[in-house]
Chains A and B, each alone.
Chain A
């Protein structure tokens, strides 16, 4: 073991790819969390309505929640493939595009495609949580609102949303924490993108220090320190909602 002092820190902080990865991570978090919360809420509202196909939607959500992430990513990489992927084939047959879109290799869109895939996988879990939250709102609130003549949107805004406030905040913060270390999506499907364009912090550490190129575990361990501190500060401001027991 050789003592290298701050050499690793200097190397990481002076690497523009580090900042690119950090920006990617932040962008990913912002888009990801917002989409997840609202789409999950919308789906939970669908699942709450008593209609005949209700059980089918619940079943589909449970299937996606229960399935492993990696096989689903493979299936999506198969669907999005330019040559034999069914999405490109359908778009071409419908005449909407003339040349197949490389969803996963085109640098201008692959980051957003990966973000959407991550959202797709995690929305079912949160939609079931929101369903639980929706079911715990007592019925008499809705009934008294209807008696007072409130419209549908007003009911949603003034009764449903305030009662879900706790769940919203928990959703936001937990999703932020859970997706801040997202590694598999970006590494598996694009390998960090053409020149780190789709790399997040963990992917940056993996590619630079843990892959076969230069095996430098201490530097890899240093990479998430600053993001961790920043995220920790952000989360600590919300710990009131984390208490249990």
Chain B
């Protein structure tokens, strides 16, 4: 009995160590390599930087980084927050309407919302090019946020709809109406506080979609000062030559804001996903 326990624990420990190494090593390597110079990276004998330098983070006169990269961070943030606000702003009323109201195509709509993802985003860009090219809306990060909201909204709708059904069933509203609330008070004082974990989970998901955007930013952000962090990184690679040190520095910066946001609200996210995704 005890032997079986020990064996179980050993397997668990081995699996834990393997998982930690496999998933932790690449970002860790990214961070370490960003502190090395170009020559040091090419020598695999050094895992840790022999002489850690910040040369890859400092703008041109002091280091080797492009001075515009702070603006790139700002643009990525705009796209991320824009996507989050627009998607959730559109998905929340939609989820509420589908769960509370009756209208003609309701079942069709609610069943097919996730089928939108059958169109791979690498093909929708053809239509977008014609649309946005025709309207001349280049070099505007908010347009990218709008496109990414279209990509993130179906999942947000599904998540919020599920969460609404499980966490705030109709009975709660009806009880509030009986007690004399009008519709607006019900929305503000009862539904909204219950929905907060779900809303936070949806906001985070949409933010990550916007922050990671590459294809549409590549197509529609042409001026160097409107670039995304991802575009800035990919622009450093010219043919076969890749300045790995700068790439890793930008990649580390790319990783930090979403991770920080996640760590701040991680408990709420898991709670929000729990009720939304597992409709019992």
Contacts and interface: CB of A to CB of B under 8 A. Distances in A.
Given A68-B230, A244-B95, A228 B118 contact: yes
Given A71-B255, A132-B270, A124 B263 contact: no
For the residues of B in contact with A, the DSSP-based class is: helix
Contacts of B122: 181, 183, 202, 206
A202 B125 CA distance: 12
A59 interface: yes
B170 to A, nearest CB: 11
Contacts of A120: 22-23
A76 B119 CA distance: 28
Nearest to A177: B117
A152 B11 CA distance: 14
Nearest to A90: B44
A22 to B, nearest CB: 14
A72 B161 contact: no
B165 interface: yes
B contact residues, range: 35 or more
B115 A235 contact: yes
Nearest to A229: B118
Nearest to A87: B44
A239 B157 CA distance: 15
B212 A177 contact: no
B167 to A, nearest CB: 11
B10 to A, nearest CB: 14
A156 interface: no
A70 B98 CA distance: 36
Interface string B238-280: 0000101001101100110011011100100111011101111
B115 to A, nearest CB: 6
B131 interface: no
Contact of B161 (A123, A178, A245): A245
A contact residues, range: 35 or more
Interface stretch (A8-16, A107-115, A217-225): A217-225
A60 B24 contact: yes
B98 A232 contact: no
A182 B278 CA distance: 26
A5 to B, nearest CB: 20
Given A84-B42, A181-B123, A133 B274 contact: yes
A244 B27 contact: no
Nearest to B269: A128
A228 B119 contact: yes
B117 A84 contact: no
Quick one: which of A58, A78, A167 has the most chain B CB within 10 A? Answer: A78
A66 B277 contact: no
B258 A74 contact: no
B192 interface: no
B87 to A, nearest CB: 15
Given A183-B120, A228-B119, A58 B16 contact: no
B22 to A, nearest CB: 7
Contacts of A231: 118
Interface stretch (B58-66, B105-113, B142-150, B180-188): B105-113
Nearest to B45: A89
Contacts of B16: 46, 53, 57
Nearest to B16: A46
B262 A66 contact: yes
A140 to B, nearest CB: 15
B158 A242 contact: yes
Nearest to A206: B122
Interface string A203-244: 001100000000001001100100010011001100100111
A120 B21 CA distance: 12
Interface of A: 42-43, 46, 49, 53, 56-72, 74-76, 78-79, 84-86, 88-89, 120, 123-124, 128-129, 131-133, 135-136, 152, 164, 166-167, 170, 174, 177-178, 180-184, 202, 205-206, 217, 220-221, 224, 228, 231-232, 235-236, 239, 242-245
21 contacts: A43-B19, A53-B20, A59-B263, A62-B263, A66-B258, A68-B212, A68-B230, A69-B212, A74-B233, A75-B26, A78-B29, A84-B43, A174-B117, A181-B119, A224-B120, A232-B115, A235-B115, A243-B110, A243-B111, A244-B99, A244-B165
Name the 6 nearest CB pairs between A and B, nearest first: A181-B120, A244-B161, A66-B258, A245-B98, A71-B251, A245-B99
